Structure 1
Amino acid sequence: MNTFDRDNLLQKSNSRSEVWNYFGFLPDETGKPIDDGKPVCRECLTRIQAKGGNTSNLIKHLWTHPTSYAEYTKNQNHAALTGAQSHTGNPATSKSQPTIDSLFEKSKKYEATSKEAAVLNRAVAEFICLDQIPIYTVDRFGFKQLVKKLNSKYELPSRNFFMNNEIPKLYTETRGTIKAELEGSGFYSCTTDLWTSRTMQSYMAVTAQFITIHWQMQSWCLGCAELNSDHTAESISEAFSEMLEEQWGLNLHDLHDCNWIPCFGHNLDLAVH
């Protein structure tokens, strides 16, 4: 039976058992294995009966080769152990089972000076400013629970942090951006809005409109000033000029020439009274 060349033996196609690594088939004219039910042992080149892919005779024959049989048993046990661990979720082999280190890392809070904390601090500050939410919202239980559900690693700072640090920083950065766009626009126009509070204190808000170099219309509220005198042209002009020149450093000569458009509501109120 030792007429076969073990170098020409081909592996059984779609074989799942480890034992087939020690047996093979002769090739046909096209180089494909001839599965005639009698594979050849790669050790002794003996043909073994194995119809229908049955491996019982192959394992019995491999037992006559102690070295190969021991290797086969070792590989078989390792494959069985690996399969059992993957089904039981053994932490040593299962990718879906979290490790102790990963659990600690997941529960670890962001450092106060970390990039992740800075991004979330800015997002909360923008939420407060854009939606005009009271700063004490960050100390409310419901808001804290919401933030914890969204990102448990984020430690929400107190309202004093947002009031004294993050919101002033956001204001300074936004102010710098607006001022740079105003200076680059060349010309701008302004509108004012005056009102009296319930405590009979007068205020004036100034809003600037301009077109950027990219031809985008912009409108920004530059500030709100308290008026400690009557709503006369002189007092309004003084407060208006102080906000544009002293607070924003803008040139009044760049203020676009336009006709003064009075407030219809104010005129009506003056006419009635």
Structure 2
Amino acid sequence: MSGKLFLVGTPIGNLKDITLRALEVIKESDIVAAEDTRQTIKLLNYFNIKKAMISYHKFNENDKSLDIIDEIESGKKIALVTDAGMPGISDPGSVIVKKCIEKNIEFEVIPGATALITGLVYSGLDSSKFVFRGFLPRGNKERREIIEEIKDYRDSIIFYEAPHRLKSTLSFLLQEIGDRNVAICKELTKLYENILRGNISEILEYYEKNNPRGEYVIVMEGKSDEEIENEKKSTWEDMTVEEHIKKYMEKGFSKKDAIKLTAKDRGVSKSEIYKASLDI
């Protein structure tokens, strides 16, 4: 008899958000592997489920993954859950998935609530394209490396953050990226769920008077057309028209195309730019 691993999405706050399929899988599993058994027992008790549990968290997942695979190979069905949300998304789970793939062990993902998607929809920002970066590192050097990578993205950008680091992270984003629009999603699906929308400086002003508490999802708008236009303008506003045309020609554009692009940048007619190009 062959066993199987199930990666089960669990509620991110409100226990009623669990799916019928997730409950069915947990009930039919032989063992529940839990990130924190003290948290998972609350979920199991709420639905009157009694199961043997083992601990599986980021500090033991390399060794524990092998133990779980042994159990699966012996015919056991294992349900892997985290404290909240989807295993493998800023939570343990990706290690055992890789090992299952390497060893050709069957596994199945049981979808459920995810804080990053819930926060994105709440934000009102562009949800057609987005980037998820989880928790930013604590060190400024490591944080700057990530910011350098993502600051020019036009996609919405999503972070997770702990309450004691929220103000520090927002200050860092303001300093490194600028005063962009954000949505700060607190305690999603829970009793004290709250969404704050505004630019970063406004949100920081709010948290100077209100101490952050709970778990947070930060959704930040991507680079706007206005930012891009302002940056483009700053590269040519000190140039003469002739220098501007030459700059495009140095990049490989024909003189004709360089005139078109220069006119577009400056918001004037091509004929006006053409006059400045006669000596080039």
Q: Do both share a fold (TM > 0.5)?
A: no
TM class, shorter-length: under 0.3
Larger Cα-atom Rg: 1
TM-score normalised by the chain length of structure 2: 0.23
If asked which structure has higher relative contact order (CA below 8 Å, sep 6+), I would say 2
User: Which structure's residues are more often strand, by fraction?
Assistant: 2
TM-score normalised by the chain length of structure 1: 0.23
